[in-house]
Amino acid sequence: MTFADTAILRDVDRNRSPARLVIALSIAAVLAVFLLYTSIAGGGTPSVKPSELAGHQGNVSLVGQVIGRPVGDANEEGLRFRLRDVKGAARTAVPVVYRGSVPDLFAPGRDLVVEGELRNGVFVATPGTMVTKCPSKYTAIKPSAP
């Protein structure tokens, strides 16, 4: 191979590099747009309050506050409890049946999120989807009397 042949090969490699760069950047841009789209608009499970649950079909995330005493076993026949709206005037309570691991912070009065679907007036939760919301560590200071 002569010096001229080597120079020609270098020129060919240089001519290919911009094309490869453009292709690689195009693929990266398409992937970035796809990830952005799926994170914003695609595949999400809608979050609803117990007062809004009646109009939804399919899987939803139910966000509410546990009321009353839970009964049953989460491993056998299912843990049964009721959820109501966390805030607001609506006092609609939805019965929930949950099977699976129960977080340590699960208790009456605690806010939680659970995924599942409404079947015959009972929200049947998907196992392993229960998440309790931690209570705020900060409370408002009560003003002292004059």
d(CA 134, CA 128): 18
The residue segments making up the domain with residue 63 are: 47-132
Q: Is residue 19 part of a domain?
A: yes
Same domain membership, residue 76 and residue 106: yes
Cβ pair 76, 89 in contact under 8 A: no
Per-residue pLDDT at 7 exceeds 90: no
Average pLDDT estimate for 46-70: 88
> For position 86, what pLDDT does the model report?
85
Tens digits of residue pLDDT in 92-121: 889 999 998 888 888 898 999 999 999 988
Structural domain contains residue 57: yes
β-partners of residue 83 are: 66, 94
What is the distance between the alpha carbons of residues 91 and 44, in angstroms, rounded to a whole number? 27
pTM (two decimals): 0.63
Distance of CA 75 to the CA centre of its chain: 23
141 is a domain residue: no
pLDDT for 17-43, tens place per residue? 788 889 999 999 999 998 888 777 656
Residue 3 placed within a domain: yes
Q: Average pLDDT of 75-99?
A: 86
Domain shared by 61 and 81, yes or no: yes
Across 20-24, 71-75, 87-91, the highest mean pLDDT is recorded for 20-24
